[in-house]
Amino acid sequence: MVRWSKLFNSDGHDRRHRIQDEVRSRYISAVLPTRRDHAPPPPIPAKEVTKIALRLKHQIEQVIPCEVDEGLVTKPHSSIITNAVVATAKQAGGEEHKAAVVYCLLVVKKWFRKQALCELWDADMHDVRATAAEIMAKRIIEGEEDMDYLMEEVLLKRYSILIDGEASAPANAIERAVDLHALTVIGSSGYQKCISYLWRGWLVQDDDDPSKFVPYEKKTNTDYWAHLDPDRMRVPLYQNTVQIAMSVLFLGLYTGAINTINPTGDIDPIEALLYIFTLGFVCDEVSKFWKVGRFYVGFWNVFNSTLYILLTVSFILRMMALGYVPHHYNRQHYNQLSYNFLAFTAPMFWMRLLLYLDTFRFFGAMLVVLKVMMRESLIFFALLLVVIVGFLQAFIGLDLTDARLEDTSFIIQAMLNAIMQSPEFDGFDKFAPPFGIILYYIFTFVVMVILLNVLIALYNSAYEDITNNAIDEYMALFAQKTMQFVRAPDENVFIAPFNLVELVCLVLPFEWWMPKARYERLNDMVMGTIYSPLLIVTAWMETREAHWVKWNRRRGEEDDDIVDEWEQVLGECDFETDGWDKKVQATKPNVEFDTGVLEIRKLQKEVSELKELLLEMKRGGWGADTLGKSMLGETESEKEKEKAGSSKSAAAEEGDGEDFLNEGEGDGTE
């Protein structure tokens, strides 16, 4: 494939929603168009992977045979998920297929979650087993020291299982954890390191085998031109940067268009660019919905679609206004209506920025809170809809008592005011007295006192659940965003509104007849031209990273290692030589076990020693009578010592002197 460098250098809460999210993520994995051929089969047959998962499921069922407290499984140094249990789980795939164990544990987690939904009487036990599978997967990830093996074989290699006799779609542990919202696995150090490498583009998909991830071969190349490559636009970091830049530019165009009203009704260049950007975003949404279907529909998709629909209506009204001569009444009317729709979308334009700022920790955590709150609101609106329909039918029935509908608008407005916590009781005292005012009081009480407090409780519960686990939720959101770029990357990345360039200038005129090699070269040239400002900056950044990586490798450290301030003088310290480490080891507490457990183990050791001593005495010919006499003799000897000690004390009190006391002690010892 032609590289851009050659153009310059010729040398170069809720389980149901989680299941829906999983299904949606599985379909979104194929959102982006691609020219790749079908991926090769997974490295391990689906039947073998399923057997490994069944072995692990059997193990967890034996480890947790009954309902236990989830805290006993999740706490550090758990007495249930012990090192021996984790070591046994590693052996489920044998030496040949041990890399598939983490993926199979996530599959087992999914099975237990599904089993909990089907067997409600044992739901708590199955939930604990699912948690145990996740904990074991995390322990295996964090216990692996070979990072290259962990990322390329354990986390990023794709596997399939048998479902109804057919192999499922290949997926890796990274994708499976995102689909299952496995926060414990996502929060592990090895998982986050892998996500960081994918986000930076240090791990990329192989051109020959898309199911395989390989290290970026030019990570240590310090040549600037080697990094000036249009293919680097597949990197999630760079794609996210372009999306943020286009969103900010989109907002800037809108601000310019709304603040420059054209009295004549003509479309100025800023407004024209605004509508062109809108067309690009609309085409992007339509193409994704066409390929994914209903599983693509989510909160942000509906939000963006609403914004694009309003902008489209504004554009259509503007075109209708241009059909009339200047200063015509209809032209002014449609122009004013068009600007009203345009101004109505201002809050949505600014809120849309939150969708692209979720890579920042603060905005990411808040977006998760908002998402859960919107989901919990569905319960409130479902209850509210039933209540509104019932009371509305009652009010309409009261209004129809005289065979005429006269107060329908008044009734609807009064009910909406009550929902918005601003009830109006004045008109109901004359509405079918006394039934009207009584019914409205009941409706106001049900809505304002009961339902709204239910909504507040749901919001409070959602906020506490997310904020108490905000870090893991943010890492899960970041991992999900990374996988959206990585799961099915397009060889030719044209981010909206540049997708219009691809559609008009490449796909329609050339793709259907041009040879593949020449078409790819043409795409590289167009991408290099469009993204040249960003590629110039990213090439410089990657050159600096290459120097940094080479320096870390010379020191024997990880590629992404950073020397912190407490590590700058660490090399001059030798805690073993100066004896500091010995003092620390002698005084450090044992945090793996409780103090009571340690004391019991100490007592158990002493009892074992006493038992061994008794057995040795028995083997040495000491009978029970002899042993009893010996013990009795020792007891009488101890009594004699006590009597002697009493005599010495009496003598000391009579004033015989310190020498006599010392002599008496010696006699007592004999």
Of all residues in the chain, what percent carry a pLDDT higher than 90?
27
Q: How far is CA 134 from the centre of its chain?
A: 14
Average pLDDT (480-505) is: 82
Q: How far is CA 371 from the centre of its chain?
A: 13
Q: Is the pLDDT of residue 324 over 50?
A: yes
- Report the distance separating Cα 201 and Cα 239, nearest Å: 11
Please check whether residue 501 is in contact with residue 530, taking contact to mean a CB–CB distance below 8 angstroms.
yes
Q: What is the pLDDT of residues 143-192, one digit of tens each?
A: 998 898 999 889 999 999 998 888 888 889 999 999 898 999 999 999 99
Please check whether residue 561 is in contact with residue 267, taking contact to mean a CB–CB distance below 8 angstroms.
no
Residue 63 has what pLDDT?
93
Average pLDDT (471-478) is: 87
Residues contacting residue 554 through CB under 8 Å, at least 6 positions apart: none
Residue 643 has what pLDDT?
53
Phi and psi at residue 561, to the nearest 5°: -70, 145
Residue 420 has what pLDDT?
84
Pairing verdict, β 213-215 and 203-205: antiparallel
SS3 166: strand
Q: What is the pLDDT of residues 411-450, one digit of tens each?
A: 888 888 888 888 877 777 777 778 888 888 898 999 888 8
- Report the distance separating Cα 161 and Cα 97, nearest Å: 14
Average pLDDT (589-607) is: 80
Residues contacting residue 66 through CB under 8 Å, at least 6 positions apart: 125
Quick one: which H or E segment has residue 215? strand 213-215
- Report the distance separating Cα 80 and Cα 69, nearest Å: 11
Per-residue HEC secondary structure of 593-657 comes to CCHHHHHHHHHHHHHHHHHHHHHHHHHCCCCHHHHHHHHHHHHHHHHHHHHHHHHHHHHHHCCCC
| Burial of 133: CB neighbours in 10 Å, binned 0-12, 13-18, 19+ | buried
Confidence of residue 39 (pLDDT cuts 50, 70, 90): low
Pairing verdict, β 162-163 and 203-205: unpaired
Q: Is the pLDDT of residue 629 over 60?
A: no
Question: What's this model's pTM, rounded to 2 decimal places?
Answer: 0.77
For residue 370 the two structure tokens come to: 């908002």
351 vs 299, residue with greater confidence: 351
Q: What is the pLDDT of residues 538-557, one digit of tens each?
A: 999 999 999 999 888 888 88
**Which of 397, 410, 394, 406 is closest to 443 using CA atoms?**
394
CA-based angle 432:437:443, to the nearest 5? 120
Domain residue ranges of the chain, discontinuous segments joined by +: 13-221, 236-356, 361-474, 595-669
Q: What is the pLDDT of residues 105-130, one digit of tens each?
A: 999 999 999 999 999 999 999 999 99
26 vs 479, residue with greater confidence: 479
SS3 479: helix
Please check whether residue 253 is in contact with residue 274, taking contact to mean a CB–CB distance below 8 angstroms.
yes
Averaged confidence pLDDT in the chain: 81
- Report the distance separating Cα 209 and Cα 213, nearest Å: 8
Please check whether residue 159 is in contact with residue 44, taking contact to mean a CB–CB distance below 8 angstroms.
yes
| Burial of 57: CB neighbours in 10 Å, binned 0-12, 13-18, 19+ | buried
**Which of 211, 174, 177, 173 is closest to 195 using CA atoms?**
174
- Report the distance separating Cα 47 and Cα 163, nearest Å: 10
